[in-house]
Amino acid sequence: MFVDQVKVHVKAGKGGNGIVSFRHEKYVAYGGPFGGDGGKGGDVIFEADPGMTTLLDLRYHRKIQATPGENGKNKRMHGANGDDKIVKVPLGTVVKNIETGQILADLTQPFQQQIVAKGGRGGRGNCHFKSARNTAPKYAEDGFPGQEYDVIVELRTLADVGLVGFPSVGKSTFLDAVSRAKPEIGDYPFTTIAPNVGVVQVKDGRSFVMADLPGLIEGASDGKGLGHQFLKHIERCRVIVHLVDMGGEEGRNPIEDYRIINEELKSYNLRLLDRPQIVVANKMDLDEAENNLKAFKEAYPDLEVFETTTIIHEGLDPILTKAANLLEKTPPFPIMEEETMDTGVTYTFEEKKKDFTIEHLQEGLWKVDGPRLERIFDIKKLNTEEDFYLFANRLRYLGIDNALREAGCQDGDTVQLCGFEFEFIEN
């Protein structure tokens, strides 16, 4: 089964917690804090594997999670780092963040690796919090959570030359004739429902990879037919071989077919038209082929058209030689837009997200919420007077005290925080 798109959930490992420990040794007076740091959480790493051709494995493993780091130990010993989770995918795989649309990985080289989700930093042990005012701190820092989100993993066929055209124009027959690939061939539309890839050998010894891409139809760029499932595989190709059914079977008009396919390429991505095209007039053995070819050349006088009959392997060598020549002078077309920029730095303004929000629920009742609060608040860590003192200082550092006063919070009001209620007291 060919699978070229999968939605998965990735979660990097949480950092280990620092610990509270004190040095207790004979003849060592006032040993002081001795708690070690937690280990770093494991990363989620995607790796390109040349031996893979489909994303079928990910279809049955929709949740990918790395190992958390170990907690710190006494004697200032560092906890072990979590193991990275390496996910093997085929060459040509792109990983996107669903929420932001950002490309997190574009794997085009054998065994290339890219971190998709970074593990959390380990928390510091109490030995880091010693000061002249507090020589024996009884608190430590929790580990930070790793990155976690949903991603789309897409396989975009990694080929040098792509065959495009309407269904049943002879793309599969062409690939079968010039390589050892064995695509399914039939006299009905959409015989090919997944890309087929083969290595093509030119007579002068040069070789390249060619992909038989499933047939396009009008409106494919808007998702009609199999739409984007077809077009995305063309993005990797450096040269496009455009096959036109010059026999005009099933009442088709070669002139309109050529125009419609190019419009679909343009609508999907303007950069697809930057690739050099080799126009092939196929099925020249049919009765109306000569007349249709004459009309086609009159409609597009500037085009170089190669005539062929793929079913009998006629006229193939000039096309392969032309493709090899174009590949020598055509650079790769990267998918990540930032790679195409020459020099310089682009600065953009983005409004900083608020660390917290304050909501007035009713008279005497307030609610404070925010992602940063959830990271620093843990009711299980509020066990000693020092823990409460540290937590209060963190709230004061974030400016929550002043923000509540400015919002109108009065002495004795109740403040909800992460599911718990506290009394607001003015000093």
Query: Are 128 and 118 within 8 A, CB to CB?
Result: no
Is 293 one of the annotated binding-site residues? no
Closest among 11, 141, 146 to 69, alpha carbons compared = 146
Residues 6+ apart with CB under 8 A from 126: 18, 19, 20, 21, 33, 35, 137, 138, 139, 140
Closest among 282, 286, 238 to 258, alpha carbons compared = 282
Query: In this predicted structure, what is the pLDDT of residue 308?
Result: 93
Query: In this predicted structure, what is the pLDDT of residue 223?
Result: 46
Is 168 one of the annotated binding-site residues? yes
Is 197 one of the annotated binding-site residues? no
Is 192 one of the annotated binding-site residues? yes
Is 349 one of the annotated binding-site residues? no
Is 316 one of the annotated binding-site residues? no
Is 248 one of the annotated binding-site residues? no
Structural domains in the chain plus CATH codes: 1-155 (2.70.210.12), 161-338 (3.40.50.300), 357-423 (3.30.300.350)
Is 193 one of the annotated binding-site residues? yes
Is 132 one of the annotated binding-site residues? no
pLDDT tens for each residue of the chain, 427 residues long: 456 689 999 999 999 999 999 998 888 878 889 999 999 999 999 999 988 877 888 888 889 999 999 999 999 999 999 999 999 998 888 899 999 888 899 888 899 999 999 999 999 998 998 888 888 888 888 898 999 999 999 887 777 898 888 888 888 888 888 887 665 544 444 444 467 778 888 988 898 888 887 756 554 444 444 445 556 677 778 899 999 999 887 677 899 989 988 887 887 765 778 889 999 999 998 888 999 999 999 999 999 999 999 888 899 999 999 999 999 998 877 665 443 334 445 555 556 667 788 888 888 898 988 877 776 777 667 777 777 777 777 788 888 888 888 888 888 889 888 878 888 887 6
Residues 6+ apart with CB under 8 A from 110: 48, 50, 91
Is 309 one of the annotated binding-site residues? yes
pTM recorded for the entire structure: 0.68
Is 357 one of the annotated binding-site residues? no
Query: In this predicted structure, what is the pLDDT of residue 345?
Result: 53
Which residues is 314 bridged to in the sheet? Answer: 309
Residues 6+ apart with CB under 8 A from 169: 215, 243, 244, 245, 257, 282, 283
State the amino acid at position 342 in one-letter form. D
Is 190 one of the annotated binding-site residues? yes
Is 87 one of the annotated binding-site residues? no
Query: In this predicted structure, what is the pLDDT of residue 352?
Result: 62
Please tell me what DSSP assigns to residue 227: T
- Calpha distance 210→170 (Å, rounded): 14
Q: Pseudo-torsion of CA 172, 164, 101, 98, nearest 10°?
A: -30
Closest among 15, 140, 31, 39 to 75, alpha carbons compared = 31
Is 334 one of the annotated binding-site residues? no
What is the token pair recorded at 307?
């005539």
- Calpha distance 19→416 (Å, rounded): 29
Is 285 one of the annotated binding-site residues? yes
Is 311 one of the annotated binding-site residues? yes
The C-alpha angle 192, 195, 196, rounded to 5 degrees, equals 90
Closest among 177, 211, 181 to 194, alpha carbons compared = 211
- Calpha distance 18→70 (Å, rounded): 9
Is 145 one of the annotated binding-site residues? no
